Amino acid sequence: MPGPTSYFDPTSLDTLDQRTAELVSRRTAALGPAYRLFYRNPVEFVRGERAHLFDRDGNDYLDTYNNVPSVGHAHPRVVAAIAEQAARLNTHTRYLDEATIAYAEDLLSTFADAVAATLGNLMFTCTGSEANDLALRIVKSATGRQGVIVSWNAYHGVTTEVAAISPSLGGMDSLAPWTRAVRAPGTDVDFAEAVEATIAELDAFGIPVAALIVDTIFASDGVRPDVPGLARAVSAVRKAGGLFIADEVQPGFGRLGDGMWGFARHGLVPDLVTLGKPMGNGHPVAAVVGRPDLIAQFAAHGRYFNTYGGNPVSIAAAQATLDVLRDEGLVENSRVVGARLLERVETLARQDARIGGVRGAGLFLGVDLVDAEGAPDESLALDIVNRLRDRRVLIAASGPANHTLKIRPPLVFDDADADRLLTELAAALADA
Amino acid sequence: MPGPTSYFDPTSLDTLDQRTAELVSRRTAALGPAYRLFYRNPVEFVRGERAHLFDRDGNDYLDTYNNVPSVGHAHPRVVAAIAEQAARLNTHTRYLDEATIAYAEDLLSTFADAVAATLGNLMFTCTGSEANDLALRIVKSATGRQGVIVSWNAYHGVTTEVAAISPSLGGMDSLAPWTRAVRAPGTDVDFAEAVEATIAELDAFGIPVAALIVDTIFASDGVRPDVPGLARAVSAVRKAGGLFIADEVQPGFGRLGDGMWGFARHGLVPDLVTLGKPMGNGHPVAAVVGRPDLIAQFAAHGRYFNTYGGNPVSIAAAQATLDVLRDEGLVENSRVVGARLLERVETLARQDARIGGVRGAGLFLGVDLVDAEGAPDESLALDIVNRLRDRRVLIAASGPANHTLKIRPPLVFDDADADRLLTELAAALADA
């Protein structure tokens, strides 16, 4: 079970203003206790634009958290594409639709030649959870094996199958018996050695490895752009007869600033790639990209149909998002603005010992907050998250010790946005 | 494995016109072999309106198949709601959003008092598959049990967990070891007796029953509006400590013409209800409605967050769909037009011995096609499906023997649409 978090505590209703308290009460009554709200003082937004969200009073919040509206909140080109297509036609993949085929071809063309030669097919789902779930179905069907290796605090989604490989969701005791989590990255343990030991352990249990799956930025492991041993770990898994799934739901679509896909930074060619969150800028669309021979083995056991997956409106949203990403140069923006932001947070870290570590690639940064002994300070991280919310900057804490500030804004984040984040972060630290 | 179907045979590319053949080739190259296309001669649509789809040449096809665009293809109110909300804000359930709360309250109010008193909470997903998957997570968490009982040819979705309770997808050998399919309905076996025997069998295997889950119109079992013994089966499951999940993805939202929900026709109050397909008229949105005590037991083991699930744009689509359903009296339309359609198909059946059985509720009809001995005639059914496609009427065959025509149009289907269907069905039968 996750420990204390930056979520609202339902027993603190009396600390809220009347409208907020009423909304929270109605919400809890209707949606039940499994849902969470961000912040000690939850926020209600009514409008979004670029990297900014606005509350009912017109107050402007800087969004450094939301990676889904990747080309900016309510981007007019994406909105227009959705509206135009919805007014015309919305069906499914059992009829021919040229735009769906063209989008699949376009997306596959964003992979470098060596990768595209390997990963020739694309299958549509609606969510990253469904994409990871389908990838595991394909892997298990193709290998006839069950064993899955994940990183220590991995998160891969919420279906039964992917929740059972997501220690960050319900803790180690919620994992399936065929799942093993390795004690890296973010520790002294070498990732390749940990994976090799785990392959041997799975073999000893009679559950040979089917796949290693990793989020290639290791977002829930504290944001780890560089993981020595990852390429060797993938080789070890393949040598043992398993496959490699790159979960690109968080790092993909240019966020890391260095090309479109996170796995490429590690010099890897995956067997399957899963896509999600930013793919439709908020519209529910996701996908699996994979080796045609694996998908053929899966197809030999049955057809695949996802009612909403790859419907023409979802495709219109995804195509417009991809077009904007290219036309507005947002991958390059992520690289340039992200690099400057990282440098400035590093400067701040040299002035404040409570910042114990800073890592990042493009517009995905992790900032560790630590106590006087240099140990993870979750309570400080949660305090900063809530102080920043009060200063109208949206951010979250994550990682195994929940002491890492996760900076992951829409990719239209600009230098003025970065200025504001730095100013408010420094002020929040000064007050904490 | 399903047998021959009304899908396009990829080896028949040379039977198609040039444009269609090119699209099919590009599609197969990009999406791979797990996807299917309807019909020997696949169709490409460019526009939809009410119960009609239009191809590139402006030809009007009558849609008697698509249940997802329930209030009619491209309904202007739903389109406007999506466009307006997308232009303003699209976030997620970790911020407060009044419209999301109001929709949840509105939807919960559509349940009859006795049901609403039991089913107090609603959780959002993006697809019916995710809804059934989440319902099973809740059930297994609350009961600590694994056993799941389904109908013989059940279909509940495509995630790993729900594919493993869906014999219609990959056959009996694709089911999980904790799944049991009962040989009813549509046979002489009494449903309650079959379920009771299965509960005992699961007990003998040391896998006590966690849940009985049924689609309350038994769509993939050949469309079964009346299943004697269903209520007794539910009682038996509860007596054994299990729960009842009503899968309303197909029958729900008024399709059966007799109120909003299919389970009510059987006099049942489920423990959990799953919703999907027509909920957003094609926009990906789905939900689980359930007993608060069960959801609380689930929530005790971890939070639930579905990135796109219940986002403001999905909610706008769902609210507009629900508003139109009520404002245009579509449940009543389904009852009235469906009853007249059923009567006319029955009349046709009295004139043509190849129609071996007709069943229906509202605008959900099953029409069995049989050979001279009265046995299921799959080949005739597939021939009729393709002849109707050539006559610009969209329909499909389904059921365990794949000999049942499934009539399941948008709920705006009117008497003129019914006339056209009857005329073309009679003509297709005359030619067959």
H-helix or E-strand containing A213?
Answer: strand A209-215
The gap between the terminal CA atoms of chain A, to the nearest Å, is 27
CATH 3.40.640.10 assigned to domain A76-327? The reply is yes
Instruction: From chain B, pick out residues whose CB is under 8 angstroms from the CB of A313.
Output: 282-283
- Please report the ipTM that was assigned to this predicted complex: 0.97
User: Taking phi first (over 0 means left), then psi (-120 to 50 degrees means alpha), and beta for anything else, what does residue A157 get?
Assistant: left
* Residue type (1 letter), A190: D
- Of the candidates A30, A47, A160, the beta carbon closest to that of B159 is on A160
Strands A45-49 and A52-55: antiparallel
Residue B200 C-alpha from the chain's centroid: 30
Q: Indicate the pairing of strand B209-215 with strand A45-49.
A: unpaired
Residues ≥6 apart with Cβ < 8 Å to B22: none
pLDDT at B5: 62
Residues of A in contact with B160 (CB under 8 A): 133, 136-137, 159-161
Look at residue B116 in the predicted model and tell me its pLDDT: 83
Q: Which of A73, A174, A301 lies closest to B302 in CB terms?
A: A174
Pick from A280, A63, A7: nearest CA to B311: A280
Q: Is B31 on the interface with A (CB under 8 A)?
A: yes
- The Cα of A192 is separated from the nearest Cα of chain B by a number of Å equal to 29
Which own/partner contact pairs does A346-349 have at CB distance under 8 Å and 24+ positions apart? A348/A422, A348/A425, A348/A426, A348/A429
- Alpha-carbon gap: B352 to the closest alpha carbon of chain A (Å): 31
For chain B, give me the number of helices (H) and strands (E)? 15, 15
Q: Which residues of B touch A106 (CB under 8 A)?
A: none
Positions of CATH 3.90.1150.10 in chain A: 43-71+330-431
Does residue A211 sit in helix, strand or coil? Answer: strand
User: How far off is chain B from A87, nearest CA to CA, in Å?
Assistant: 5
**CB distance B287 to B123 below 8 Å:** yes
Do residues A93 and A124 lie in contact, with contact meaning Cβ atoms separated by under 8 Å?
A: yes
Contacts of B313 in chain A (CB under 8 A): 282-283
Within 10 Å of residue B295's Cβ, how many Cβ atoms? 28
Cα angle for residues A23, A25, A28 (degrees, 5° grid): 105
Which of A244, A286, A252 is closest to A269 using CA atoms? Answer: A244
Instruction: DSSP letter for A7, please.
Output: B
| A57 vs B: CB within 8 A | no
Residues 104-123 of A with CB under 8 A from B: 104-105, 108, 120-123
Contact B160 A137 (CB under 8 A): yes
Strand intervals (E) in A219-304:
243-247, 272-275, 286-290
| pLDDT score for A354 | 98
What is the fold of A43-71+330-431?
Aspartate Aminotransferase, domain 1 (3.90.1150)
User: Which residues in A lie closer than 8 A to residue B89 (C-beta atoms)?
Assistant: 45-48, 53, 73-74
Residue B34 confidence (pLDDT): 95
With contacts defined as CB-CB under 8 Å, which chain A residues touch B170? Answer: 301-302
pLDDT of amino acid A5: 62
Alpha helices in A182-269 (DSSP H): 191-204, 230-239, 262-265
Q: Which of A291, A303, A305, A402 to mutate to test the interface with B (most CBs of B within 10 A)?
A: A303
Chain A, residues 329-388, CB within 8 A of chain B, namely: none
CB contact under 8 A, A93 and B33: no
Tokens representing A81 are 């594409």
- Do B94 and A36 lie within an 8 Å CB cutoff? yes
Residue A45 touches chain B, beta carbons under 8 Å: yes
Q: Are B286 and B321 in contact (CB under 8 A)?
A: no
Q: How far does B422 lie from chain A, in Å, by closest CA?
A: 24
Subunit contact B95:A129, Cβ cutoff 8 A: no
A141 CB within 8 Å of a chain B CB: no
Cβ-nearest to B33 among A161, A299, A308: A299
Beta-carbon separation of A27 and B101 below 8 A? yes
Query: How many other CB atoms are there within 10 angstroms of residue B5's CB atom?
Result: 18
Closest CA to B397 of B132, B69, B74, B153: B153
- Chain B CB within 8 Å of residue A205 CB: no
If you measure CA to CA, which chain B residue comes closest to A106? B30
Does the beta-carbon distance from B96 to A23 stay under 8 Å? yes
Q: Do B91 and A48 touch (CB under 8 A)?
A: yes
A284 with A246: CB under 8 angstroms? no
Distance (Å, whole) CA B432 – CA B423: 14
Cα radius of gyration (chain B): 21
Q: Please name the residue of chain A whose CA is at the shortest distance from the CA of residue B29.
A: A121
How many whole angstroms from its chain centre is CA B16? 31
- Give the separation between CA B235 and CA B218, rounded to whole angstroms: 19
The dihedral over CA atoms of B310, A364, A4, A394, expressed in degrees to the nearest 10, equals -60
> Any CB–CB contact under 8 A between A24 and chain B?
yes
DSSP A143-156: H---EEEEETT---
A3 at B interface, C-beta within 8 A? no
A33 contacts B276? CB cut-off 8 A? no
Closest chain A C-alpha to B343 CA, distance in angstroms: 29
> How far is the C-alpha of A176 from the C-alpha of A159, rounded, in Å?
12
Cα dist. A320→A83, A87, A279, A288, B89 in Å? 12, 16, 10, 19, 17
* Count of CA atoms in the C-beta half-sphere (13 A) of A75: 28
CB of A10 within 8 Å of any CB in chain B?
Answer: no
8 Å CB contact between A157 and A213 = no
Counting one residue from A and one from B, how many pairs have CB atoms under 8 Å apart? 319
CB-nearest partner of B96 from A42, A83, A92: A42
Residue the block writes with tokens 């989604």: A157
A295 touches chain B (CB under 8 A): yes
Minimal CA–CA distance to B359: which of B261, B227, B246?
B227
Chain A stretch 158-197, residues whose beta carbon is closer than 8 A to a beta carbon of chain B: 158-161, 163, 169-171, 174
Q: Using the structure block, give the residue that is written with the tokens 């309807």.
A: B38
d(CA B320, CA A86): 14
Q: Out of A79, A91, A174, whose CB is closest to B301?
A: A174
Give the residue range(s) of CATH 3.40.640.10 domains in chain A.
Answer: 76-327
- Say if A98 is an interface residue toward chain B (CB within 8 Å): yes
Count how many Cα atoms sit within 13 Å of the Cα of residue A70 in the half-sphere of its side chain. Answer: 36
Backbone angles phi, psi at A122, to 5 degrees: -130, 135
Please return the burial class of A339, using the count of CB atoms within 10 Å of its CB with bins 0-12, 13-18 and 19+. Answer: middle
In the sheet with A60-63, reading across from the earlier edge strand, the strands are: A45-49, A52-55, A60-63, A393-394
Calculate the alpha carbon distances from B34 to A111, A390, B163, B386 in Å.
Answer: 22, 50, 15, 21
Average pLDDT per block of 10 residues along chain B, 432 residues long: 67 94 97 95 98 97 98 98 98 97 97 87 98 98 97 97 95 93 89 98 98 98 95 98 98 97 96 98 98 96 91 98 98 98 98 97 98 97 98 96 97 98 98 95
Residues (pLDDT < 70) of chain A are 1-5
Which of A31, A120, A284 shows the shortest C-beta gap to B314?
A284
Distance from the A90 Cα atom to the nearest Cα atom in chain B, whole angstroms? 6
Residue of B nearest to A56 (CA): B97
Residue B186 backbone class (left: φ over 0; alpha: ψ -120 to 50; beta: rest): left
What is the spatial distance between Cα B358 and Cα B405, in angstroms, rounded to a whole number?
9
Contact A152, A181 (CB under 8 A): yes
Q: Which two tokens stand for residue B283?
A: 């926009």
Q: Which residues of B touch A159 (CB under 8 A)?
A: 130, 133, 159-161
What are the Cα distances from residue A368, in Å, to A92, A217, B409?
A: 45, 16, 56
CB A160 to CB B161 under 8 A? yes
